[in-house]
Amino acid sequence: MRIVRPLVLAALLVAPFSVPALADDRAPTLDERAKIEAVLIAEGFVSWGEIELDDDKVWEVDDAIHADGREYDLELDVTTLAITDRDPD
């Protein structure tokens, strides 16, 4: 029994740090997705991966491929949907 108590205590001390943080990210609604995709197409992008709203501050678009063949991770302004950041992949 003496071994069990330290193991239980250790588990209780570590448990709060092993729980993943709750993300404030979400996928776009159908209407939001349509508007974001229209912007991406107008900017010359031909395909993209996941789209998500990050902390209610910015839309993130992963693996967006431009017509010139270059791949980017994008950030769009949540209000205007203007592309505010293009990080080459």
Burial of 53-72, coded b for 16+ CB within 10 Å and e otherwise, reads beeeeebbbeebbbeeeebb
Condensed to tens digits (0 to 9), the pLDDT of residues 6-47 reads: 544 555 555 555 444 455 799 999 999 999 999 999 999 999
- The pTM of this model reads 0.73
Report the share of the chain in percent with pLDDT over 70: 74
Domains of the chain: 21-88 (3.10.450)
pLDDT at position 2, please? 56
